[in-house]
Amino acid sequence: MARDPNQTNDPVKFAQGRDVKEQPEATNNSGRDASRDVDGKPFANEHKHSTNISGGQNAQAAGIQIIPPADPLYLYQTYTLDVTVDQTHPEVWAVFWTSGAESPPPDEGKCGHTVIFDPDGLYQGYTPVGNFQGKMSIKAVGPNTDTTITIYAHSEDATPIGIADLKFLKAKASDNPPKTTLGLFTLDGPPLPAPGGTHLVKAVYTDDVGTPLPGEITWQLNNTSATSSTILSTNPTQTIDDGTTTNGIDQVAVQSVYRLIGCAILTATAPDGAKAQLSLAATQYGRGPSITIAPDETQQTLTATYSGAGTEVLWEAFPADQVQFTNRTTLVANGSTQNTITAKGDGPFTAYISASTLNEQTGTRDYGVLQLTLQGSVQHGIGITGTDPIPLYAAQTLTATNANPSDQMSDIYWSAVPSDP
């Protein structure tokens, strides 16, 4: 893909951390290309910067500073970021992380890149701050193409925050880059509020050129000693056309200790062995939902209420293969936005609907989750095709097709009933 013209041509010089105060006042408008969200591109084009800072020195401004390694960053490798908190903010004792836009954005019909923070579970999903310093590990996966991804570091209450644009280079052939990758990220927070409700996570399964891949994704959830939570589906979930699937963490709870952070570690595995691990930090002071989702009487039209005109809202659902959205993103106007859904399946089922957007002012995702019971719409029966009308005395082949493959059939019996003249 083409290099971002705003970035330096020197591959050794990467975007340094910057404080949010270096930008004009941000809005909640994510700037996402609505026509591309369906293609499994997590957070592509989700915000726009007034500047794109690159160079060998870190910005010196009050707040949180993200310091990447001096060496070039490559896809699929794990790196450690240093983070510093200005001494004017002694109240900051933990830093949480969120990914934003990537540049250039993915091509139409292709998957983008996913940033995974704490991919090995070493930091339990957040950065403890001591002496105004801390560390976090990071890895970017997806198609094997150069990309620049914006990341956010923020305190528990999102005051202050820090921002950095990190450039990841295409992996070297000598490093045997993977042919497929699995990305995994949360649509809420972080940190998640504890105790709290249901929080959806999304997996993106793609090959090394960004083509979405079909397959069943298996899931495993491990709780730390401070956390108690469950997963919505312990069974594999099927990716849809854009290579994505969803699952959810339910009822995250943390022991009632001041400033204790719990962590649930979620692992997803693709059929070919591609794997991703996500550390979900939760605290008693995590930000709760700020988007309200309400269905109409038909439960087909959903209204999300959110402040900020022009904000682009991303819609996801669990189970992903049973709920289809008319639009994967919609724009807020007059304090709300609407979408319509179609439920697939045989009989009623419980669905979880997520509406979320990146909040540039806080460096976190504003979100809402709705649980509702949907009635699946599925066809049953056998369809018959052939030449109509059939000429007398001529041989003709008729084809019988099962309208619903989940209705298992071993034999089809034929009969004919004469019609009235």
Burial 170-179 (b: 16+ CB within 10 A, else e): bbeeeeebbe
- Mean pLDDT, residues 311-339: 96
Does the pLDDT value for residue 262 go beyond 50?
yes
Spatial CA neighbour of 331 closest among 316, 313, 317, 315: 313
pLDDT of residue 412: 79
Q: Is-contact 113 150, C-beta < 8 A?
A: no
Whether 6 shows a pLDDT value over 70: the answer reads no
DSSP 48-62: --S----SSS----S
Sequence-distant (≥ 6) Cβ neighbours of residue 232 within 8 angstroms: 198, 247, 248, 249, 250, 318, 352
pLDDT band at 1 (very low <50, low <70, confident <90, very high): very low
pLDDT tens per residue, range 271-293: 999 999 998 888 877 788 999 99
Query: pLDDT at residue 26 above 80?
Result: no
| Whole-angstrom distance, CA of residue 233 vs CA of residue 12 | 43
257 vs 151, residue with greater confidence: 151
The count of other CB atoms within 10 Å of the CB of residue 397 is 7
Q: Of 111 and 405, which is predicted with more confidence?
A: 111
Taking alpha carbons only, the member of 38, 31, 32, 41 closest to residue 1 is 41
Q: How confident is the model over 293-306, as a mean pLDDT?
A: 95
Dihedral sign, Cα of residue 376, residue 381, residue 382, residue 388? negative
Question: CB–CB of 230/220 below 8 Å?
Answer: no
Whole-angstrom Cα distance, residue 48 to residue 402?
49
Q: Is the pLDDT of residue 61 over 50?
A: no
Residue 22: strand, helix, or coil = helix
Residue 229 has pLDDT above 50, yes or no: yes
Q: Is 37 helix (H, G, I), strand (E, B) or coil?
A: helix
State pLDDT tens for residues 337-387.
999 999 998 889 999 999 999 998 888 999 999 999 999 876 556 667 666
- Quick check: helix, strand or coil at residue 39? helix
pLDDT-derived band at 190 (thresholds 50, 70, 90) equals: confident
Q: Which of 63, 127, 93, 83 is nearest to 259 (CA)?
A: 93
Q: Kindly state the average pLDDT of the residues 123-135.
A: 91
Beta bridge partners of 42: none
Q: Which residue segments constitute the domains of the chain, with CATH numbers given?
A: 292-360 (2.60.40.10)
Residue 229 structure tokens: 């939570």
Let me know how long the chain is.
Answer: 421
C-alpha torsion 89→91→94→100, nearest 10 = -50
Cβ(268)–Cβ(217) below 8 Å: yes
pLDDT at residue number 43: 35
pLDDT for 18 equals 43
Give the whole-angstrom CA distance, residue 386 versus residue 416. Answer: 15
Please report the pLDDT score of residue 414 as a whole number.
Answer: 78
Name the more confident of 381 and 19. 381
Q: How confident is the model at residue 29 (pLDDT cuts 50, 70, 90)?
A: very low
Q: What is the pLDDT of residue 396?
A: 76
- Position 136 pLDDT exceeds 80: yes
Hey, what are 254's tokens?
A: 């943390």
Q: Cα separations (Å) of 80 from 54, 66, 93, 104, 165?
A: 19, 11, 19, 24, 15
* Band (250; pLDDT cuts 50, 70, 90): confident
Q: What is the pLDDT of residue 254?
A: 65
Average pLDDT over residues 13-30: 35
For residue 173, CA distances in Å to 176, 285, 418 come to 5, 45, 69
Distances from the Cα of 208 to the Cαs of 109, 180, 181, 274, in angstroms? Answer: 14, 6, 7, 12
- For residue 115, the cross-strand partners are 140
Q: Give the residue-averaged pLDDT of 201-228.
A: 91
pLDDT at 192: 84
For 223, other C-beta atoms within 10 Å of its C-beta total 17
Q: What is the mean pLDDT of the chain?
A: 80
Structure tokens at 402: 């099962």
Percent pLDDT > 90 in the chain is 54
Q: Could you tell me the pLDDT band of residue 37, with boundaries at 50, 70 and 90?
A: very low
Q: What per-residue confidence (pLDDT) applies to 251?
A: 65
Residue 194: predicted pLDDT: 76
